[in-house]
Amino acid sequence: MKQIIVTGGAGFIGSHLIDQLLAQGNHVSCIDNLQTGSRENIEHHMQSEKFTLIEQDIINPLPAFEHIDEIYNLACAASPVHYQADPIHTFKTSVIGALNVLELAKQHNAKVLQASTSEVYGDPLVHPQPESYLGHVNPIGIRSCYDEGKRGAETVFFDYARQYNTKIKVIRIFNTYGPRMDPKDGRVVSNFIMQALKGEPLTIFGDGKQSRSFCYVNDLVDGIVKMMNSKEEVQGPINLGNPHEFTMLELAEQVVAKTASGSPLRFHPLPSDDPKQRQPIIDKAKELLNWEPTIQLNQGLDKTINYFRTKL
């Protein structure tokens, strides 16, 4: 049984990760300030002796632990609506939070994994995106608290590895969806499904021709755990995502068809710096982690729609 810390474990991805880590027999301490996560996501573990919830913000000094084997650092609001609501806090979470987590890992000689993002590529000029692409990020735009914050986090991870031999793992997660997304979280999959189920117009930003590649959450969590368990020399960064690319119009059409909804499409202005295209190259994940997604959008949307029906 390993002693594992998951920051951001009450959130969408973190709670699925905790399900898997506990099912494998580990002890998990979840550090979360419940900013965008919820107790409901982890309610089913609250009575378990192997699970502890520590309500705390990772920008503040972290509590002492007797022993830690592994830390997964997922704490950070991920939806543009939420991370832009308090951009200074987002930046602090990304950079000061990462430094606090790295210090804890250093003290315990623990392995530490950083949940980075495809946003480090910004509005990419290279398509699809390999890990070697250095990105095209606006450093002063409304997305930069998150994009530059996550880039800064990658920097301090690699500096800790070089300066202190900290055992790091960095993954770049592409758009992920599935049950336990917050219905009000503002991301495109949750917005479209909730709007379709309520018979409201689907809010298409811009002309809807921008693309994203959507990964089902269970596939992603398998990749995250494989990364943590990879050979010590595998530090990353490694892209984790589903390479099937869709436009937002294609996503909207699928959601309307699957929900048999009468919702019309309504067009709204495109937010600034919204990336026009995004698709991961996952050759590294295939080769080094023996990982690739198995659940395609058609199937994953059905599971997600069923979940959101229970939230109405």
d(CA 78, CA 90): 9
- Cα–Cα distance measured from residue 221 to residue 229, given in angstroms and rounded to the nearest whole number: 12
CA 228 – CA 147 distance, rounded (Å): 23
Count of helix runs (H) and strand runs (E) in the chain:
9, 13
Q: Catalytic residue among 83, 121, 146, 160, which?
A: 146
The reply on whether position 76 binds ligand NAD by CB under 6 A is: yes
- Nearest partner of 129 among 301, 290, 275, judged by Cα: 275
Question: CB neighbours of 86 closer than 8 A, spacing ≥ 6?
Answer: none
Of 77 and 295, the one with the shorter C-beta distance to ligand NAD is 77
Is 213 near ligand NAD (CB under 6 A)? no
List residues binding ligand UDP (CB under 6 A).
79-80, 175, 187-188, 191, 203-205, 210, 212, 248, 270-271, 274
Q: Which amino acid is at 223?
A: G
Residue list 159-198, contact with ligand NAD (CB under 6 A): 173, 175-176
| Nearer Cβ to ligand UDP (210/242) | 210
Q: Of 44-52, 69-77, 126-134, 204-212, which part binds ligand NAD (CB under 6 A)?
A: 69-77
Name which of residues 139 to 158 contact ligand NAD (CB under 6 A): none
From the list ligand UDP, ligand NAD, none, pick the one residue 277 interacts with, judged by a Cβ distance below 5 to 8 Å according to partner type: none
- 228 near 72, Cβ under 8 Å? yes
Cα dihedral sign, 50-55-60-63? negative
Q: Is 75 in the site for ligand NAD (CB under 6 A)?
A: yes
Distance between first and last Cα of the chain: 39
112 part of the interface to ligand NAD, by CB under 6 A: no
Beta carbon nearer to ligand NAD, 8 or 237: 8
Beta carbon nearer to ligand UDP, 39 or 184? 184
Instruction: Judge contact between 296 and 242, C-beta under 8 A.
Output: yes
Q: Which is nearer to ligand UDP, 99 or 270 (CB)?
A: 270
CB 16 within 8 A of CB 178: yes
Report in angstroms how near the CB of residue 99 gets to ligand NAD at its nearest. Answer: 12
Return the one option of ligand NAD, ligand UDP, none that residue 5 interacts with (CB less than 5 to 8 A, by type): none
Question: Which stretch, 43-51, 70-78, 255-263, 270-278, contacts ligand NAD (CB under 6 A)?
Answer: 70-78
Closest CA to 198 of 303, 298, 302, 309: 309
Cα 179 to Cα 3, 41, 84, 303: the distances in Å are: 26, 10, 23, 7
Give the nearest distance from C-beta 183 to ligand UDP in angstroms.
12
Residue 171 forms beta bridges with which residues? 115, 238
Active site residue 146: yes
How many residues of this chain interact with ligand NAD, rule: CB under 6 A? Answer: 28
Q: Closest CB to ligand UDP among 133 and 205?
A: 205
| Residue ranges in contact with ligand NAD by CB under 6 A | 7-8, 10-14, 32-37, 57-59, 74-78, 93, 97, 115, 117, 173, 175-176
| Residues with catalytic roles | 146
